[in-house]
Amino acid sequence: MVQYRVGVDIGGTFTDIVLLGDDGTIHTRKISSSVENYAHAIVDGLAALFRETGLAGDAIEELRHGTTVASNAILEHKGARVGLITTRGFRDVLEIRTLRMPRLYDLAWEKPPPLVERYLRQTVDERIDAFGHIDRPLDPAEAERAVDVLLAEKVEAIAVCLLHSFTNPVHELAIKEIVTRKAPDLPLSVSCEVLPEIKEYERTSTTVVNAYVMPVVARYLRALRKGLDAAGIPARLLLMQSNGGLTTDSAAAERPMNIIESGPAGGVIGAQALARATGLPGIITFDMGGTTAKASMVEDGAVTRAAEYSVGAGIMIGSRLLTGAGYTLKVPAIDLAEVGAGGGSLVWIDPAGSLQIGPESAGAVPGPVCYDKGGETPTITDANLLLGYINPAHLVGGAVPLNAGKARRVFAEKIAAPMGLPPEQAAYGAHLIAASNMIRAIKAVSTERGRDPREFALFAFGGNGPVFACGMAQALGIRRVVVPPSAGLFSSFGLLYADVEHHYARSFRRLLRKTDLGEVQRAWDALADQAAAQLAAEGFTGARMKVRRSAALHYHGQSFDLTVPVPDGILDATMVARLEEAFGQEHEKTYGHRAGPEEPVELVAIQVVGLGLRDNGGAPQRVRDSRPEPAASPARAAYFGSDHGWIETPVLRRSDLATARTGPLIVEEYDATCVVPPGARASLDSSGNIVIELGE
């Protein structure tokens, strides 16, 4: 019997389900997200797919899930009532944050409200100093009182974060023991276990966010498991984490902080897998949907990760310079740059007469003008329709009918006429400006990190990604664009290619050349044992288990660090020399210079990643979509700027590219549209990707 892996990605409006059989067959379905209960949407969607395909629950081997349930709880402030216990004198670390605000000159700025109100933040008299010595011992009676106060306040979860607990956790563990004794079932998040790393604000915030979403995530996963059981689907449930690796449902319930940015990770991991399969060493992923566009980088086959990010920070250009919004999480996550540009982004004219795009979006309601659901402000989708890029009659294989006449009239009235431009020139301008905004996201993950985008291929997905990809690639000097199969559903598709992955880290500040290497080795071994035990408990043993080490390092005196991989083997003087050299090289690559060999390198933190690999090593085979391709559409006129003007452009299906063709071309599919500009050459590769060569 063909066994299927299922990828489920829940978005704001649509839930995407992809079934991939071990014979390469795929079944896909886009359904409306029932906001009342996401778990129902998944179970109902699967039931519908079973009816269509005649499959049964036991054909499902694994269900892989990317979810926004945790981030939504934070954005909507619907998480648990959390109590926090912290060191006396430091009750307000969570609320004072870093003082920094993300906007200049803004008198109306409001800080995000703290996830724990002040009266639920209890302090205990204790102090561990910077070197782990007990300065003031914890008074157990007082700790009991603090816990009692919180329990009397009926908190739904407790977070504990004391100063320097990553160096000496004894006081935190004593409080943990008290909480466990008094309230054994209460969700509990203790900083020395959750994030044993230096910097009290980041550690407190992460520990609190974890506690805040623990009950919500546990409830959701229980409901989903129950629904799957009731539907006769015994398959195990794996969750996508922010770092791009999968985790089990029980581990996710314990450390939900790891699945906050679960949503966008799937697409990046899928892109990474397809790029490996087709031998592309470096890609920039570009995912554009209805409201936002996201970019990330895969370099030498590896995704780029950020050590820290903010949830609910909003989207703004320049946000990499101006921090302070949202809730800080010091948890490794795929490094994504996001701008507020999508199909629904509004097109408008500012008071000085300049054409502007977004960041406001028409959203699902009223949507673009062409949806004819009451939208009266032109959007990027309307501009693309005017330019002939998207089908003027309908989208999503006919599911969404469009009113092209209205879109043309409103765009001419509100944009083209005031600017004194012919409609197609104004629409083309809007298209280019949207592209230039999105180019900033690509620069954020490439040039701003010292990488040259011209050395990468642009891997485009999301409903609107392939419409813009070629134009953006040309502007950046990128010569190759890749559009994967099921581009519009790629976030769920990508889930199918991820491995199980657990990250562990510990602050460990030592000058490499002066430290007791045995001590570092033992600390590393302890983390590796933790990773191995977790993987073994999940059924990954032998060749399916892999443990990798890395080290965060900096030159003594620097206030930031870089992570380098640590090869297997004993930590000795030779290894130290190799690490210092690897760090020097990474420093030069990222910052353009490195210090001389006499400059001491300091270890900042030790890290371990445990990987649970799939049986077949994860190489994707060529997939066959069970959905029949739509009938071919007639050619239509499309506008490619004043150099080319209007060109009668063939409209193809993906399979028509079995023989290479030269643009202009439009490839229409169920879930996405791909625009190939004049002169570019498009073909299919062995994995079913559309590959577009743009030339010089």
Partner 1 sequence: MSATHDPIAFELFKNAIFSIADEMALTVVRTTYSGVLKDNMDFSTGFADADGKLVAQGLTLPGHLGSVPTAMEAIMRHYRDDMAPGDVFIMNDPFDGGMHLPDIFVFKPLYHEGRRLAFACTVCHHTDVGGRVAGSNASDSTEIYAEGLRIAPLKLYEAGRINKTLMTFIEKNVRLPVRVFGDLRAQLAACHIAETQFAELVKKYGAEQTTAFMRETVDYAERLTRAALERLPDGEWSFEDWIDDDGVDYGVPIRLFVTIRKTGGHMVVDWTGTHPQVKGAINNTLSFTKAASYTGVRSVLPSGIPNNEGVFRAIEVICPPGTVGNGVLPAACAARGLTGFRMTDCMFGALAMMLPDRVKAAGDGGNTGITIGGYYADRSPFIYVDFTCGAWGARPWADGLDGNSHMMANMASHSIEVTEVEQPIQILAYEFVPDKAGAGKYRGGVPFRRDYRFLESEAMLQVRSDRRDHRPFGLYGGNPGLPSENYLNPDGENRTLPGKFTMTIKRGDVFRHVLAGAGGWGDPLERDPAAVLRDVRNELLSPAKALADYGVVIDTASWTVDASATTRRREAMRRARGWQEVPKVQWHDPQPLARAAE
Output 129 or 529, the one with its CB closest to partner 1. 129
Coil, helix or strand at residue 693: strand
* Contact call for residue 646 and partner 1 (CB under 8 A): no
Q: Where are the alpha helices (DSSP H) in 7-58?
A: 38-53
* Contact call for residue 321 and partner 1 (CB under 8 A): yes
Residues 478-517 that bind partner 1 (CB under 8 A): 509
Residues 525-544 that bind partner 1 (CB under 8 A): none
Nearest-angstrom CA–CA distance, 187 and 70: 15
* Contact call for residue 89 and partner 1 (CB under 8 A): yes
Coil, helix or strand at residue 497: coil
* Contact call for residue 96 and partner 1 (CB under 8 A): yes
Interstrand relation of 236-240 and 60-66 (parallel, antiparallel or unpaired): parallel
* Contact call for residue 521 and partner 1 (CB under 8 A): no
Choose, by CB under 8 A, the member of 77, 219, 222, 320 that binds partner 1.
320
In the complex, the smallest distance separating the C-beta of residue 681 from partner 1, rounded to whole angstroms, is 24
Do 19 and 235 contact (CB within 8 A), yes or no? no
Task: Tell me the DSSP string of 44-90.
Answer: HHHHHHHHHH---GGGEEEEEEE--HHHHHHHTT-S--EEEEEETT-
Output 98 or 662, the one with its CB closest to partner 1. 98
Q: What is the DSSP letter of 416?
A: I
Residues 585-604 that bind partner 1 (CB under 8 A): 590-593
Output 321 or 570, the one with its CB closest to partner 1. 321
* Contact call for residue 31 and partner 1 (CB under 8 A): no
In the complex, the smallest distance separating the C-beta of residue 394 from partner 1, rounded to whole angstroms, is 29
> Binders of partner 1: how many residues, by CB under 8 A?
74
In the complex, the smallest distance separating the C-beta of residue 685 from partner 1, rounded to whole angstroms, is 31
Output 449 or 627, the one with its CB closest to partner 1. 449
Output 63 or 433, the one with its CB closest to partner 1. 433
Choose, by CB under 8 A, the member of 34, 425, 530, 633 that binds partner 1.
425
Choose, by CB under 8 A, the member of 236, 406, 440, 546 that binds partner 1.
440
- Which of these ranges, 295-303, 328-336, 424-432, 510-518, lies near partner 1 under the rule CB under 8 A? 424-432
Choose, by CB under 8 A, the member of 36, 110, 300, 643 that binds partner 1.
110
Q: Packing angle between helix 200-230 and helix 38-53, nearest 10 degrees?
A: 40
Choose, by CB under 8 A, the member of 436, 474, 621, 683 that binds partner 1.
436
Output 5 or 97, the one with its CB closest to partner 1. 97
Choose, by CB under 8 A, the member of 54, 105, 514, 631 that binds partner 1.
105
The phi and psi torsions of 169 (rounded to 5 degrees) equal: -85, 10
- Which of these ranges, 32-40, 313-321, 379-387, 626-634, lies near partner 1 under the rule CB under 8 A? 313-321
What one-letter code names the amino acid at 356?
A: Q
Q: Which residues contact 576 (CB under 8 A, 6 or more apart)?
A: 512, 513, 517
In the numeric block, the tokens 């420093």 are attached to 587
Torsion of CA 359, 362, 368, 369, to 10 degrees: -110
CB atoms within 10 A of CB 557: 8
Q: What is the DSSP letter of 628?
A: P
- Joined tokens for residue 66: 């990317």
Output 321 or 399, the one with its CB closest to partner 1. 321
Choose, by CB under 8 A, the member of 218, 362, 433, 665 that binds partner 1.
433
Do 159 and 211 contact (CB within 8 A), yes or no? yes
CA distances, 537 to each of 180, 248, 284, 531, 546 (Å): 23, 10, 35, 10, 14
* Contact call for residue 570 and partner 1 (CB under 8 A): no
Nearest-angstrom CA–CA distance, 659 and 639: 25
The closest of 690, 627, 679 to 655, measured between CA atoms, is 690
* Contact call for residue 352 and partner 1 (CB under 8 A): yes
Torsion of CA 168, 172, 173, 175, to 10 degrees: 150
Do 454 and 490 contact (CB within 8 A), yes or no? no
Choose, by CB under 8 A, the member of 1, 543, 559, 617 that binds partner 1.
559
From start to end of 389-444, where are the E strands? 394-395, 400-401
* Contact call for residue 154 and partner 1 (CB under 8 A): no
From start to end of 150-288, where are the E strands? 157-161, 188-190, 236-240, 246-248, 283-288
Residues 174-203 that bind partner 1 (CB under 8 A): 198-202
From start to end of 270-349, where are the E strands? 283-288, 293-299, 302-303, 305-306, 309-311, 327-329, 333-334, 337-339, 345-349
CA dihedral sign, ordered 529, 535, 538, 541: negative
- Which of these ranges, 65-73, 142-150, 210-218, 425-433, lies near partner 1 under the rule CB under 8 A? 425-433
- Which of these ranges, 24-32, 70-78, 254-262, 555-563, lies near partner 1 under the rule CB under 8 A? 555-563
Choose, by CB under 8 A, the member of 354, 541, 574, 585 that binds partner 1.
354
Tally the C-alpha atoms within 13 A of residue 19's C-alpha that lie toward its C-beta. 26
- Which of these ranges, 90-98, 138-146, 532-540, 624-632, lies near partner 1 under the rule CB under 8 A? 90-98
* Contact call for residue 360 and partner 1 (CB under 8 A): no
Output 135 or 529, the one with its CB closest to partner 1. 135
Site string for partner 1, 45-84 (x = CB under 8 A): ----------------------------------------
Output 116 or 666, the one with its CB closest to partner 1. 116
Choose, by CB under 8 A, the member of 101, 396, 536, 575 that binds partner 1.
101
Q: Which residues contact 118 (CB under 8 A, 6 or more apart)?
A: 91, 92, 95
